[in-house]
Amino acid sequence: MTTELRRLRNYIDGEFRDAADGRTTEVVNPVTGEAYASAPLSAAADVDAAMDAAKAAFPAWRDLIPAERQKVLLKIADAFEERAEELIAVESENTGKPLGLTRTEEIPPMVDQIRFFAGAARLLEGRSAGEYMEGLTSIVRREPIGVCAQVAPWNYPMMMAVWKFAPALAAGNTVVLKPSDTTPASTVLMAEIIGGVLAELGHPKGVFNVVCGDRDTGRLMVEHPVPAMASITGSVRAGMQVAESASKDLKRVHLELGGKAPVVVFEDTDLAKAVEDISTAGFFNAGQDCTAATRVLVHESIHDEFVTALAKAAADTKTGAPDDDDVLYGPLNNANQLAQVAGFIDRLPAHAKVEAGGERVGDKGYFYAPTVVSGLKQDDEIIQKEVFGPVITVQSFSSEEQAIEYANGVEYALASSVWTKNHARAMRLSKALDFGCVWINTHIPLVAEMPHGGFKKSGYGKDLSAYGFEDYTRVKHVMTSLEG
């Protein structure tokens, strides 16, 4: 006897709809490895409908005064708070994340970030008006871009959706958002909540739309002639494809891609505290975080002691079911990701040593043990490529110069951290590290007021902060004669 799958639907122009051609894809619970829902496998007709709805809604939404858009976002934040337990339950089934940590580590930041952008809508700063040519006054207008095509990832389905729609809506744009094909459930619930707020306040139905589907659906969105901007959080490969597709009609592009964060630990750090914080920041969310503390560089004088302590911390870290309050993280998101993580360990060179973990946990679902690998060289695959799993690598360095060389010696440039009691050294490293964020004696905290984004193959554009808000605006110069 088969269990009937829950039916997820697209949200287009204020209505829940199946894919026009009726195609669906199964959504799998990563805790069990079994399908629990079906979602639309959207094609061109569905993307056309969503883009048409967003385009039709744009003029009215654009022309609202910022205070009115703020009201909408604040009400959305309140509604997310009120329905937090529903969001937590769906997200946990979506991803396998621990219920308790989703409640404390995701819902509050999401709500805070929406409220931040609600305020940012009313504080769009620019250069003052002035005369730069005799008899003429110049002013600068900040305007919304238009329809935004947005693609969210599977590692933080709810939070990354917030990072995309909140600044876009606050700036006066309309949105067509596609969740990952493995984690659409929470985004569909968010669409229900957001759509309800828009309807209650009398705003156009097409301001916010959700289209479910696969990579081809995302490609259709990016290539569509309506959007003025394409935004994606995903892999380097996906980002390059989006940039290439968007270049054909010169869409603006916002890319938040992979990471390989160096964690540089000097001999004067508080070793016990560093190990505790780094292990948490490396294993949290099963290491499925572009900023995860998974590439540790340790001064040679404390290397062995650090590795021993980190291996013990890994052994003491628990993965398991969402309702177990003792677990730090749940399963990897999908079967392909489990195979990818296991593949890195299977291909380790002979000089590498697995200090802890290195194997799948259990016989169902996609759980992987907290893993520590030492004895690695700078050009090893596991150092150069993003694992995106609960695997922390450890390298040794002998000097500050070598630490900087190793840290910067990858193609990613999103986040990094420095662990030292020497203030001058911390300042030197913060300047030398070629990453969009440098944490000092901590790793992974983010706040709405500060920008998040990287360089090199980690992409371009900023999430969060006023910088992230401005990314969803365009600049217009207006000049007027004083003699008219």
Distance CA 157, CA 55 (A): 25
- Report pLDDT for 147: 98
Q: Report the candidate in 188, 180, 193 with the shortest Cα–Cα distance to residue 152.
A: 180
- Report pLDDT for 4: 85
Distance CA 83, CA 99 (A): 14
Topology of the domain comprising 262-448: Aldehyde Dehydrogenase; Chain A, domain 2 (3.40.309)
Distance CA 57, CA 346 (A): 51
Do the Cβ atoms of 231 and 148 come closer than 8 Å? yes
**What's the pLDDT tens digit per position in 424-473?**
999 999 999 999 999 999 999 999 999 999 999 999 999 999 999 999 99
- Active-site residue 212, yes or no? no
Amino acid at 290: C
The catalytically annotated residue of 91, 290, 355, 386 is 290
Give 171's pLDDT tier (boundaries 50, 70, 90). Answer: very high
Amino acid at 353: K
- Report pLDDT for 128: 81
What phi, psi does 302 have (nearest 5°)? Answer: -120, 10
Mean pLDDT computed over 353-379: 97
Is the pLDDT at 73 greater than 90? The verdict is yes
**What's the pLDDT tens digit per position in 385-413?**
999 999 999 999 999 999 999 999 999 99
Q: Report the candidate in 379, 310, 371, 370 with the shortest Cα–Cα distance to residue 351.
A: 379
Distance CA 167, CA 116 (A): 9
Do the Cβ atoms of 417 and 395 come closer than 8 Å? no
Higher-scoring residue by pLDDT: 123, 328: 328
Amino acid at 442: T
Is the pLDDT at 354 greater than 90? The verdict is yes
Please state whether beta strands 415-419 and 437-440 pair in parallel, antiparallel, or not at all (unpaired). parallel
What are all long-range contacts of 37-40, with beta carbons under 8 Å and residues at least 24 apart? 37/5, 37/6, 37/7, 37/8, 37/185, 38/5, 38/6, 38/7, 38/8, 39/8, 39/9, 39/181, 39/184, 39/185, 39/188, 39/212, 39/213, 40/8, 40/9, 40/10, 40/211, 40/212, 40/213
Residue percentage of the chain with pLDDT more than 70: 99
- Report pLDDT for 2: 53
Is the pLDDT at 8 greater than 60? The verdict is yes
| Angle at the Cα of 187 from the Cα atoms of 233 and 83, rounded to 5 degrees | 130
The β-bridge partners of 253 are 230
Query: DSSP letters of 182-203?
Result: T--HHHHHHHHHHHHHHHHTT-
**What's the pLDDT tens digit per position in 267-299?**
999 999 999 999 999 999 999 999 999 999 999
**Per-domain residue ranges of the chain:** 6-257+458-477, 262-448
The catalytically annotated residue of 256, 355, 386, 470 is 256
Distance CA 314, CA 305 (A): 14
- Report pLDDT for 302: 98
Distance CA 156, CA 79 (A): 19
Is the pLDDT at 144 greater than 60? The verdict is yes
Q: Report the candidate in 352, 414, 360, 417 with the shortest Cα–Cα distance to residue 381.
A: 352
- Active-site residue 143, yes or no? no
Give 1's pLDDT tier (boundaries 50, 70, 90). Answer: very low
Mean pLDDT computed over 129-157: 96
Is the pLDDT at 63 greater than 80? The verdict is yes
pTM for this one? 0.96
Same fold, 6-257+458-477 and 262-448: no
**What's the pLDDT tens digit per position in 211-238?**
999 999 999 999 999 999 999 999 999 9
- Report pLDDT for 433: 98
- Report pLDDT for 126: 74
Q: What is the mean pLDDT of the chain?
A: 97
Residue percentage of the chain with pLDDT more than 90: 97
Distance CA 319, CA 360 (A): 11
Q: Report the candidate in 267, 301, 277, 322 with the shortest Cα–Cα distance to residue 100.
A: 322
Amino acid at 297: L
Please state whether beta strands 353-356 and 371-374 pair in parallel, antiparallel, or not at all (unpaired). antiparallel
Q: Across 212-369, where does the E strand assignment appear?
A: 229-233, 252-256, 262-265, 295-299, 353-356
**What's the pLDDT tens digit per position in 254-268?**
999 999 999 999 999
Mean pLDDT computed over 362-383: 97
**What's the pLDDT tens digit per position in 336-348?**
999 999 999 999 9
Q: How many CA atoms does the CB half-sphere of 182 hold within 13 Å? A: 18
Query: DSSP letters of 258-292?
Result: ----EEEE-TTS-HHHHHHHHHHHHHGGGG-STT-
May I ask the CATH class of domain 6-257+458-477?
alpha beta
Do the Cβ atoms of 297 and 333 come closer than 8 Å? no
Give 375's pLDDT tier (boundaries 50, 70, 90). Answer: very high
